[in-house]
Chains A and B, each alone.
Chain A
Amino acid sequence: MSAFGNILLGGIFHAAVLFLVAAGLQLVFGVQKIVNLACGSFYALGAYFGITFVTLALKAGMPQWTLLPLLLVAGAVMAVVGPPIERILRTVYDRDESFQLLLTFAMVLMFQDIIRFLWGANPTSLDNVQLVYGKIVAGDFIVPVYNLLVIAAAIGAAALIGLFLQRTNYGRLLRATAENRTMAEALGVNVRGIYAAVFTLGTLLGTVGGALVVPTAAASLDMAVEVVIEAFAVVVIGGLGSMAGALAGSLLVGLIRAGSLVFYPEFEILAIYLIVIGVLLLKPSGLFGKPAA
């Protein structure tokens, strides 16, 4: 039973991190109709900067327990790359989607080298800070409190985004723009501002996701292109542009991965793609997406 608990939590933890990245992807797609391949680069950027920031802060005498807030701040700080990139993307808003996709692909190429230039090619990691919040032990069932905090942070993010989109005025404007940009613009919505805000928020989700995962993982150059693929699987399963889809999709991917590791490890990555294709066959728009046809 405790083994089951460990596996379940492992899957949920994985899902929590994936959710943050996928949510950024969904938000940007939902409103701006841009598939942002660079979301993985933001994730990597958050991770690298998180390590630098926390290391410096701890050296400067910050107490260990500030780890989580420090990482959140690091992620938030890195979101500054959002607005300039949005400014570049703005030049192709009126073109077709292939140009936008390609421009984000160009970002992927550039960020790979920018990160290598700044942090070098060796993987880096934070010294063991994962256990500063202790762990919960019940027999064989062991979970670091930090992992639970990350899961809570992801749930918190999901709730905040949901509330923001559903309950606030700005959220309504945002949804209206997503629904019909021309109409929103005609009604006086500052679409340009909304786009900038949405893209920055999407970036923020990616960088915060990257920063939060750092205490349990390491930052490496290939994390950017690797996470994109998993985030895409989440998004396709959940349905493009749907926040609920991102949540369900990441949970599904996280749990399937954890489950297949126990029952048939060879199946791990394949299982995810097979689910992706299964969903596409049975419900092409994804579990929560608007029908494409």
Chain B
Amino acid sequence: MRRAPSVILIVAAVVALGLVPVLAPPFYANLLVPFYGYAIALLGFNLLFGYGGLLSFGHAMFLGLGAYGAAVIAGVWGIKEFEIVLIGAALAGLVVALPLGWLVVRYTGIFFGMLTLAFGMLTHSVLFKFYHLTGGDSGMRVPRMRLLGLEFAAYNKIELMAGPFYYYCLALMLIAAFLMWRIVHSPFGLHLRSLRDNAQKALYLGVRVHQFRLAAFVISAIYGAIGGAILGFRTGLADPELVYWTHSGHLVFMTVLGGFSSFLGPIIGALALTLLQDQLQSYTQYWRFVLGAILALVVIFLPRGLAGLAADVGSFLSSPRRRPGPVQLPEHSQPGVLGPGLRRDDVA
């Protein structure tokens, strides 16, 4: 995190992503649209988890909020401007996350995880039960929307997804990433990390623990809702599956796969899991097992995820003498040193 990721590499990656609709078969551009949704959501999620040390196991509820928000704004109210939907989704995230966050940020560690899980499942059953309002299991339709006021009438939805919307999402992700970069490198981000590493000490130093955590929670919710709106537009449907607890688990999976101790880790994880799942599903009907096994291996052997692996490989190549061990933990995950805030005894 401290070391700015190589600018050249990032530019190369963005260019490569930008070329996907041009060079790769249209299927891949379509496949990557949800990746952008997840990448944005996970940028926010990782502010909470990687930087704030708070593991939410109900974060999918915010994606659901964004998708249902899009369904209501564009479908029910008929406002088919995607920008307004994004703002609406962000506002919905804000409005829901404020009281919820106020309630849950008083806890850390496993208590925080269980609480968010409980709220996520409450949301799920509300979406399921009030089916006159929410469509129950069949969910709510998300209609096609205009982008920047443009209809793109010449494109059908698949072409829209693989062309204009693809670039729209890429731009959105870059903006979201830039903002997040500013956030985590601001005094706020520093405070947040200090809370994660030692809440007690930070409290003594005058850091307003709850307020900072609440702010992180709200920001992550807004990012989640924006990601959810993208998923909703892509799928054309907001459905309760989006909010089910296993979907929250997948968000955590992506983050850990990519590496939560790195700024770009969640984005890498979202990309890796999207491509991996696509390949695995074609290869075997037991892809869940393989995914589970991969997750277990990553957790055990690659605690810093793919981003950490890449960094190790990079530093190994540049200076063989300073080669790190194969399973070097991030500083804050080593035994004895505080983990990302998940210890019981640092509950303030």
- A/B touching: CB–CB < 8 A: yes
Chain B 309-332 against A: per-residue CB contact (8 Å), 1 yes, 0 no? 000000000000000000001000
Q: Does A269 contact B (CB under 8 A)?
A: yes
Task: Give the residues from 18 to 56 in chain A that come closer than 8 angstroms, CB to CB, to chain B.
Answer: 29, 33, 35, 37
**With A102-B295, A109-B295 as contacts: A273 and B288 at CB distance below 8 Å:** no
Report whether B122 and A277 are in contact in the complex, using a CB–CB cutoff of 8 Å: yes
Q: Does A140 contact B (CB under 8 A)?
A: no
* Interface residues in B, total, Cβ within 8 A: 48
Task: Give the residues from 285 to 326 in chain B that come closer than 8 angstroms, CB to CB, to chain A.
Answer: 286, 288-289, 291-293, 295-296, 299-300, 303
Q: List the B side residues contacting A273 at CB < 8 Å.
A: 118, 121-122, 125
**With A97-B110, A110-B293, A229-B121 as contacts: A266 and B342 at CB distance below 8 Å:** no
Q: How far, in whole Å, are A240 and B300 apart by their CA atoms in the complex?
A: 26
Shortest B336–chain A CB gap in Å is 9
Q: How far, in whole Å, are A112 and B344 apart by their CA atoms in the complex?
A: 31
Q: How far, in whole Å, are A91 and B299 apart by their CA atoms in the complex?
A: 9
Q: How far, in whole Å, are A95 and B296 apart by their CA atoms in the complex?
A: 14
Q: B303 contacts which of A97, A99, A269 (Cβ < 8 Å)?
A: A99
Report whether B340 and A106 are in contact in the complex, using a CB–CB cutoff of 8 Å: no
Q: How far, in whole Å, are A37 and B246 apart by their CA atoms in the complex?
A: 10
Q: List the B side residues contacting A88 at CB < 8 Å.
A: 296, 300
Q: List the B side residues contacting A235 at CB < 8 Å.
A: 114
Q: Does B111 contact A (CB under 8 A)?
A: yes
**With A91-B300, A102-B295, A107-B292 as contacts: A96 and B339 at CB distance below 8 Å:** yes
Q: Does B82 contact A (CB under 8 A)?
A: no
Shortest B258–chain A CB gap in Å is 13
Q: A103 contacts which of B121, B128, B300 (Cβ < 8 Å)?
A: B300
Interface-side segment among B33-41, B136-144, B225-233, B248-256: B248-256
Q: List the B side residues contacting A148 at CB < 8 Å.
A: none
Q: List the A side residues contacting B329 at CB < 8 Å.
A: 95
Q: Does B31 contact A (CB under 8 A)?
A: no
A: contact size bracket = 35 or more
Q: How far, in whole Å, are A276 and B288 apart by their CA atoms in the complex?
A: 31
Report whether A284 and B339 are in contact in the complex, using a CB–CB cutoff of 8 Å: no
Report whether B55 and A98 are in contact in the complex, using a CB–CB cutoff of 8 Å: yes
**With A33-B344, A92-B299 as contacts: A270 and B111 at CB distance below 8 Å:** no
Shortest B294–chain A CB gap in Å is 8
Report whether B347 and A99 are in contact in the complex, using a CB–CB cutoff of 8 Å: no
Write the chain A residue with the least CB distance to B244. Answer: A225
Chain A 197-210 against B: per-residue CB contact (8 Å), 1 yes, 0 no? 00000000000000
Q: Does B343 contact A (CB under 8 A)?
A: yes
Q: List the A side residues contacting B206 at CB < 8 Å.
A: none
Q: Does B333 contact A (CB under 8 A)?
A: yes
Q: Does B51 contact A (CB under 8 A)?
A: no
Q: List the A side residues contacting B339 at CB < 8 Å.
A: 95-98
Task: State the majority secondary structure of interface residues on B.
Answer: helix
Task: Give the residues from 214 to 255 in chain A that come closer than 8 angstroms, CB to CB, to chain B.
Answer: 225, 228-229, 232-233, 235-236, 240
**With A102-B252, A266-B129 as contacts: A240 and B110 at CB distance below 8 Å:** yes
Shortest B330–chain A CB gap in Å is 10
Q: How far, in whole Å, are A116 and B284 apart by their CA atoms in the complex?
A: 13
**With A103-B300, A225-B246 as contacts: A113 and B114 at CB distance below 8 Å:** no
Q: Does B75 contact A (CB under 8 A)?
A: no
Report whether B303 and A101 are in contact in the complex, using a CB–CB cutoff of 8 Å: no
Q: How far, in whole Å, are A236 and B118 apart by their CA atoms in the complex?
A: 9
Shortest B256–chain A CB gap in Å is 6
Report whether B115 and A280 are in contact in the complex, using a CB–CB cutoff of 8 Å: yes
Q: Does A137 contact B (CB under 8 A)?
A: no
Q: How far, in whole Å, are A29 and B110 apart by their CA atoms in the complex?
A: 10
Task: Give the residues from 45 to 100 in chain B that come closer than 8 angstroms, CB to CB, to chain A.
Answer: 49, 55, 57
Write the chain B residue with the least CB distance to A109. Answer: B292
Shortest B29–chain A CB gap in Å is 28
Q: List the B side residues contacting A117 at CB < 8 Å.
A: 286, 289
Q: How far, in whole Å, are A276 and B289 apart by their CA atoms in the complex?
A: 32
Q: How far, in whole Å, are A284 and B347 apart by their CA atoms in the complex?
A: 13
Write the chain B residue with the least CB distance to A99. Answer: B299
Q: List the B side residues contacting A97 at CB < 8 Å.
A: 55, 109-110, 113, 339, 342-343
Report whether A106 and B292 are in contact in the complex, using a CB–CB cutoff of 8 Å: yes
Q: Does B166 contact A (CB under 8 A)?
A: no
Q: List the A side residues contacting B347 at CB < 8 Å.
A: 292-293
Shortest B96–chain A CB gap in Å is 14
Report whether B286 and A270 are in contact in the complex, using a CB–CB cutoff of 8 Å: no
Q: B114 contacts which of A107, A225, A240 (Cβ < 8 Å)?
A: A240
Q: How far, in whole Å, are A292 and B292 apart by their CA atoms in the complex?
A: 32
Write the chain A residue with the least CB distance to B338. Answer: A96
Q: List the A side residues contacting B118 at CB < 8 Å.
A: 232-233, 236, 273, 276-277, 280
Question: Given known contacts A96-B343, A110-B288, A293-B348, what 8 new A-B pairs fall within 8 Å (CB)?
Answer: A35-B113, A98-B339, A107-B292, A116-B286, A232-B117, A269-B128, A280-B115, A292-B344
Closest 6 CB pairs of A and B: A96-B339, A109-B292, A113-B289, A110-B292, A106-B295, A106-B296
Q: Which residues of A does B touch, CB under 8 Å?
A: 29, 33, 35, 37, 88, 91-92, 94-99, 101-103, 105-114, 116-117, 225, 228-229, 232-233, 235-236, 240, 266, 269-270, 273-274, 276-277, 280-281, 284, 292-293
